[in-house]
């Protein structure tokens, strides 16, 4: 059986308009994800993490290389892959209910089917009772719950999250991390997760792809063999956690030094 996701030899160049040249943003990036696996992409800013996620989603095309989702080449965005953004990207004129149901509407699901699915998602992310609120009437943490519910509503094969907790304060972030982790423990989903937070990457992941800059590429793949279900507090206090963190830090600081030169 084909892996849930296969990223093969991705090269991506962007034009540098100021200098009239092209620069290499991603160089020979390859990895696979098995169904239900949680994989983090971590690395200094500008190393191409967002670009990589957008290529997997189909929003961006690679210069060369290919992405296969369950053995089928990705050509454009479709409902097999759903993206959660750092800045939520909700429609301000739509209620919580209609934001969550947006993808279902685009897909052509009828009203009754949509409402049932949205209700299930509201419960899943803990937003029952808020369906008629507008995004500006709820907190950032709640807005991101809507973003996550909207992505999961389509029951995608692959969930893509680009620094989903990056715009939240520390306490909201912690709470949402725990809730998302609990949701994914109950219903494992193949996930690619971009972060530059090492603790977050270890807590969630089965594997962490450490990216380097100039050009963006995978420096090392770090396995996280911590048992599941994971309790945030116990995990963080463990010896294994400290060891992985130390290793990630040594890889990332090397990359940041390269960047400085």
Ligand X SMILES: Nc1ncnc2c1ncn2[C@@H]1O[C@H](COP(=O)(O)OP(=O)(O)O)[C@@H](O)[C@H]1O
Residues binding Mg ion (CB under 5 A): 50
Find which of ligand X, Mg ion, none residue 47 binds, CB within 5 to 8 Å per kind: ligand X
Task: Give CA separation, 244 vs 164, 210, 222, 227, 251, in Å.
Answer: 22, 12, 8, 14, 11
DSSP 8-state code for residue 58: T
Q: Where are the beta strands (DSSP E) in the chain?
A: 5-16, 21-33, 38-42, 64-69, 72-73, 81-84, 158-162, 190-195, 207-212, 217-223
DSSP 8-state code for residue 76: S
48 scored as a contact of ligand X (CB under 6 A):
yes
Query: In the complex with ligand X, which residue's Cβ is closer, 49 or 114?
Result: 49
Find which of Mg ion, ligand X, none residue 46 binds, CB within 5 to 8 Å per kind: ligand X
Cα gap 59→77, rounded to integer Å:
6
Query: In the complex with ligand X, which residue's Cβ is closer, 53 or 142?
Result: 53
46 scored as a contact of ligand X (CB under 6 A):
yes
47 scored as a contact of ligand X (CB under 6 A):
yes
Shortest Å, Cβ 148 to Mg ion: 18
Hey, which residues between 17 and 36 contact ligand X (CB under 6 A)?
Answer: 25
DSSP 8-state code for residue 135: G
Q: Which two tokens stand for residue 27?
A: 């160089």
Q: Using CB under 6 A, which of the segments 48-56, 72-80, 123-131, 175-183 binds ligand X?
A: 48-56
229 scored as a contact of ligand X (CB under 6 A):
no
Q: Using CB under 6 A, which of the segments 42-50, 97-105, 152-160, 178-186 binds ligand X?
A: 42-50
Find which of Mg ion, ligand X, none residue 14 binds, CB within 5 to 8 Å per kind: ligand X
Kindly provide the b/e burial profile for residues 13-22, where b requires at least 16 CB atoms within 10 angstroms of the residue's own CB: beeeeeeeee
């Amino acid at each position: 059986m084909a892996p849930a996701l296969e990223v093969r030899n991705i090269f991506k160049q962007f034009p540098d308009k100021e200098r009239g040249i092209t620069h290499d943003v991603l160089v020979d990036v390859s990895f696979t994800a098995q169904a239900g696996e949680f994989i983090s992409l971590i690395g200094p800013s500008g190393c191409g993490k967002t670009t990589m996620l957008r290529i997997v989603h189909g929003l961006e095309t690679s210069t060369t290389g290919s992405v296969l989702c369950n053995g089928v080449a990705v050509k454009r965005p479709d409902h097999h892959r759903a993206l959660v953004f750092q800045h939520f990207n909700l429609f301000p004129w739509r209620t919580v209910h209609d934001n969550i149901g947006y993808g279902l509407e685009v897909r052509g699901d009828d009203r009754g089917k949509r409402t049932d699915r949205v209700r299930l998602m509201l419960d899943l992310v803990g937003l029952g009772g808020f369906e008629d609120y507008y995004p500006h009437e709820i907190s950032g943490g709640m807005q991101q719950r809507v973003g996550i519910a909207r992505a999961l509503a389509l029951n995608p094969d692959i969930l893509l999250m680009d620094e989903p907790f990056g715009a939240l304060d520390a306490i909201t972030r912690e709470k949402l991390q725990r809730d998302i982790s609990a949701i994914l423990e109950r219903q494992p989903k193949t996930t690619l997760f971009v972060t530059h937070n090492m603790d977050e990457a270890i807590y969630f992941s089965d594997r962490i792809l450490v990216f380097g800059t100039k050009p963006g590429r995978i420096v090392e793949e770090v396995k996280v063999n911590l048992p599941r279900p994971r309790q945030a507090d116990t995990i963080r206090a463990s010896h294994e956690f400290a060891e992985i963190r130390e290793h990630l830090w040594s890889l990332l600081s090397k990359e940041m030094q390269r960047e400085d030169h």
